[in-house]
Amino acid sequence: MIFWGNKPFGRLVIALIIGIVTSRYYPIYCNHLYLIFGILFTIFLVSTKNKSRYREYYTGTLLILVTFLLGYTRYSSLHPNMDWTHYSHSLDDTHMYMSAKILTIPKKTTRYSCYIQINAIGSSIDSMNNVTGKITAYFKLEDSIASTYSPGDEILFNGYVIALRHSRNPNTFDFNDYLKTKHIFHRVDIAPELHSSTSKNLANPIERLANKIRSHALKTFDKYLDNNDHRSLTAAMVLGFRNTINPELYASYTKSGAVHVLAVSGLHVGILCQIILFFLNKLFKSSNRDKLIKLSLLAFSTSTYIIITGGSAAVMRASVMIIIYYVGKYWADRVDSYNVLSMTAFFLMIYDPYMIFQASFQFSFLALLSILYFYKPIYEWLFNHIEISSRLINYIWQMIALSMSAQILVAPLTIYYFHKFPTYFWLSGIVAVPAAYCVLVLGILMIIIEYILPFANEIIEILLTSIFEVFIYSIQTIEHLPLATIDNLWLYIHELLLLYISLCLFLAARHALKANYILASLTVFMIFTLSRYHYTNESETQAAVTIYDNYKGHIIDFYDGRTCYSICSEQLAEKTVEFITSNNRINRKITELIDLNPLEAINKMSFIKSQNLIQFKDESILLLDSNYIDHKNPIDINTAIVLGGMKSRMDTIKKYVRADKWIITQSEKQYKQLKWKQWCDQNAIECVSIKDHGAYSYDILNK
């Protein structure tokens, strides 16, 4: 295998990852972990002096155990439960006074939001204690002061801190879980009159320089680029600032498979370092002193760029990897790319083990590993069959080989996270990579020239405009090609692991030339195939109901095989409904969606709706909403779903509706929700409150 033998850091990275993942799902928050780690590390050091013939075996095993425990301990140590300086230990049920440092530029959507670093907290301004920890702050859209905040600014505010909770709808993207990978466990809503700036900037010198460069760059782009799309794309591809990208344009890049160029990544860092090293090599020679100066300036430049672009995992990976690579190049006999990649992953996970659970971190390392392993054989395959002398064809094939090699290890992860796959990624790569190179170079030139020869930026503006016109046209053309995107794909976590295990065993067989590995790979892939068949077959006969959690209105899905009958509040926006329901419908392999009007009648073989009464197979369901009309005689049903807005009195409904189970949605007024729950408790009737329970699903056939 590529990680074994002369690539020892590969084994350490795997042990570290297992330790981190174990700590996430089976945490132990105890200071004794440090003692255990210290003892085991000491035993490891002693074992290295053992002269027996089994020394390598013992020391190797101990090193793996030490690395595993290092990952476990490091992840646990960063949790608020292990950090007594964290602000969460000072919270109570009242509004708190806090001092904080702005970490990110406030993003404007339906409100302003940004990340902040809490520095002090207390029940009053005079009683605040020094603390640490990050939090998400939300400001109202009409708050004009919030829009002026910049990274590094110190603010004082008063607010009620709320703990983040997991998404309560099935299979929905859990943004709060993503925030926890950034060490953010709480949020605070800040009213306009309850915050103010202290006029201090708490950023360190490098942060101040980075913030100043970013501010200057954004103003420069605003000054010369009149087209909103061109301006937003330049800010995204040069600075990693994606707050202003048109959602429709972003969707085009996603469907064409070129969305990765809109996020500053290893490609951008590599281009930047090429530019910096070009000038450094002209200024400095090859002495050890000059090498150290070049490496220091390169490290300073990449550190500044990390801060400018928001510290994404891909930028950090590329920056650290480049530094390690040049350390090896300057002072070692040879540099092994796999070892450099492994060392980079090791150091980054020690620095912040939470990063491993970020999709950007996973994509960044898997894409580069995939390129390192597969690019050369894919690129050479064409020349083994065809003799090509054209530079243009050679370049095109290089871009295609690069895109294809990157996708081999990334494709399963793309399907797992986004439930779709762009089929023309190889075609978009031909345009996207050179466009990213040109935009980054011209964008950096525009920023620098604005200080020296501002009038020259008029020429750069013309060049950027021409590039973007071709780039956007190409991407939108690719987007509209037949079968540009394969949608509605779903992988469970165990299926994702099965795919990667099967692939690893196949690669092991390729190197070791052993039939056992091939057999094992096929066996694992067969298990994956059986899992796919099981879930596909299960979806054909499913009969279930899901009542989603949404405080703005109700959404109810009835799953009858691959058909979904849906009822939702009229005031809900289409995008809101899609965000809440789409992943769950994909998971259930829905191919036909039927939206039902509250007054609409439908008569299918297994699903009958007449006014507010639904007969779904053997389940009778009554919808209690504004269209409900009192029955003259008592009605016996299986489930009553309270949607709110009924014109009838609650006592009348309770008298004539006899249900085995009552489901109270958040469409009902809050005080009435409480009354319904109290009545159910008093009469020992099964009751499900969506507000308390979250989304509720139940199976009709297997109740």
pLDDT for residue 31? 77
Q: Can you say how many angstroms the Cα of residue 1 is from the centroid of all Cα atoms in its chain?
A: 30
Least Cα distance to 87 among 119, 116, 113, 123 occurs for 119
Residue 701: pLDDT over 80: no
What rounded mean pLDDT belongs to the chain?
A: 88
Maximum alpha-carbon separation in the chain:
97
Cα(664)–Cα(654) distance, rounded to whole angstroms?
14
Q: What is the pLDDT of residues 65-93, one digit of tens each?
A: 999 999 999 999 999 988 889 999 999 88
pLDDT for residue 542? 93
Cα(376)–Cα(87) distance, rounded to whole angstroms?
51
Burial tier of 424 (Cβ tally within 10 Å: 0-12, 13-18, 19+): buried
The phi-psi region of residue 602 (left if phi > 0; otherwise alpha if psi is between -120 and 50; otherwise beta) is beta
Check whether residue 262 and residue 235 sit in a common domain.
Answer: yes
Check whether residue 549 and residue 666 sit in a common domain.
Answer: yes
Check whether residue 329 and residue 261 sit in a common domain.
Answer: yes
Cα(305)–Cα(302) distance, rounded to whole angstroms?
5
Tell the residue number behind the tokens 């969305």, with chain if given: 259
Mean pLDDT across the stretch 233-245? 84
Whether 563 is in a domain gets the answer yes
Contacts of 37 (CB under 8 A, 6+ apart): 66, 69, 70, 73
Burial tier of 84 (Cβ tally within 10 Å: 0-12, 13-18, 19+): exposed
Residue after which a domain boundary falls, among 203, 231, 260: 203
Residue 49: pLDDT over 60: yes
Whether 3 is in a domain gets the answer no
pLDDT for residue 2? 42
- The structure's pTM equals 0.88
Structurally, how many domains does the chain consist of? Answer: 5
Q: Can you say how many angstroms the Cα of residue 456 is from the centroid of all Cα atoms in its chain?
A: 39
For residue 38, the enclosing domain spans: 8-77
Contacts of 78 (CB under 8 A, 6+ apart): 183, 352, 353, 354
Tell the residue number behind the tokens 């990213």, with chain if given: 436
Strands 184-190 and 592-595 come out as unpaired
Least Cα distance to 20 among 63, 81, 70, 62 occurs for 70
Q: What is the pLDDT of residues 267-304, one digit of tens each?
A: 778 888 888 888 888 888 778 888 888 888 888 888 88
pLDDT for residue 349? 93
Check whether residue 199 and residue 245 sit in a common domain.
Answer: no
Q: Return the H-helix or E-strand segment holding 474.
A: helix 457-479
What single DSSP character describes residue 128?
Answer: -
For the domain that residue 193 is a member of, what is the CATH number?
2.40.50.140
Q: What is the pLDDT of residues 607-632, one digit of tens each?
A: 999 888 999 998 999 999 988 887 77
- Could you list the beta-strand ranges (E) of 33-152: 96-102, 107-108, 112-122, 129-130, 134-139
pLDDT for residue 57? 73
Whether 386 is in a domain gets the answer no
Contacts of 129 (CB under 8 A, 6+ apart): 90, 120, 121, 122
Contacts of 602 (CB under 8 A, 6+ apart): 565, 594, 596, 608, 609
Whether 348 is in a domain gets the answer yes
Contacts of 399 (CB under 8 A, 6+ apart): 429, 430, 433, 434
Check whether residue 479 and residue 589 sit in a common domain.
Answer: no
Least Cα distance to 188 among 90, 118, 105 occurs for 118
Mean pLDDT across the stretch 248-270? 80
- Sheet with 555-560, side-by-side order of all strands: 592-595, 563-568, 555-560, 543-547, 696-699
Residue after which a domain boundary falls, among 38, 59, 77: 77
Burial tier of 339 (Cβ tally within 10 Å: 0-12, 13-18, 19+): middle
Least Cα distance to 587 among 539, 541, 635, 619 occurs for 539
Check whether residue 140 and residue 282 sit in a common domain.
Answer: no
Contacts of 375 (CB under 8 A, 6+ apart): 401, 402, 405
Whether 411 is in a domain gets the answer no
Whether 177 is in a domain gets the answer yes
Check whether residue 128 and residue 245 sit in a common domain.
Answer: no
DSSP labels for 561-595?
Answer: TTEEEEEE-TTS-HHHHHHHHHHHHHHTT--EEEE
Q: What angle do helix axes 457-479 and 205-224 make, rounded to 10 degrees?
A: 80
Cα(589)–Cα(201) distance, rounded to whole angstroms?
52
Cα(149)–Cα(172) distance, rounded to whole angstroms?
32
Cα(217)–Cα(450) distance, rounded to whole angstroms?
9
Q: What angle do helix axes 247-256 and 425-452 make, rounded to 10 degrees?
A: 130
Whether 557 is in a domain gets the answer yes
Cα(611)–Cα(608) distance, rounded to whole angstroms?
10
Beta bridge partners of 98: 121, 157
Radius of gyration of the chain (CA): 29
For the domain that residue 565 is a member of, what is the CATH number?
3.60.15.10
DSSP labels for 591-639?
Answer: -EEEEPPTT--EE-SSEEEETTEEEETTEEEEEESTT----SS-EEEEE
Contact present, 230 and 183 (Cβ < 8 Å):
no
Tell me how crowded residue 34 is: count the other CB atoms within 10 A of its CB. Answer: 13
Check whether residue 337 and residue 446 sit in a common domain.
Answer: yes
Percent of the chain with pLDDT over 90: 48
Check whether residue 451 and residue 305 sit in a common domain.
Answer: yes
210 band by pLDDT with thresholds 50, 70 and 90: confident
Q: What is the 3-state secondary structure (H, E, C) of 363-431?
A: HHHHHHHHHHHHHHHHHHHHHHHCCCCCHHHHHHHHHHHHHHHHHHHHHHHHHHHHCCEECCHHHHHHH
Check whether residue 105 and residue 52 sit in a common domain.
Answer: no
pLDDT for residue 1? 40
Tell me how crowded residue 279 is: count the other CB atoms within 10 A of its CB. Answer: 10
Check whether residue 503 and residue 520 sit in a common domain.
Answer: yes
Cα(334)–Cα(589) distance, rounded to whole angstroms?
51
Check whether residue 505 and residue 651 sit in a common domain.
Answer: no
Whether 406 is in a domain gets the answer no
What single DSSP character describes residue 86?
Answer: B
Q: Burial letters for 492-528: b for 16+ Cβ neighbours within 10 Å, e otherwise?
A: eeebbebbebbbebbbbbeeeeeeebbebbeebbeeb
655 band by pLDDT with thresholds 50, 70 and 90: confident
Contact present, 158 and 96 (Cβ < 8 Å):
yes
Least Cα distance to 169 among 581, 680, 652 occurs for 581
Mean pLDDT across the stretch 557-577? 93
Least Cα distance to 74 among 352, 279, 474 occurs for 352
Q: What is the pLDDT of residues 473-484, one digit of tens each?
A: 999 999 889 988
What single DSSP character describes residue 243?
Answer: T
5 band by pLDDT with thresholds 50, 70 and 90: low
Percent of the chain with pLDDT over 70: 98
Mean pLDDT across the stretch 501-507? 92
Q: What is the pLDDT of residues 119-172, one digit of tens each?
A: 999 988 888 999 999 999 999 999 989 989 999 999 999 999 999 988 899 999
| Rounded alpha-carbon distances, angstroms, from residue 125 to 95, 151, 186, 258 | 12, 23, 21, 49
Cα(263)–Cα(310) distance, rounded to whole angstroms?
11
Q: What is the pLDDT of residues 428-463, one digit of tens each?
A: 888 888 888 899 889 989 998 988 888 889 999 999
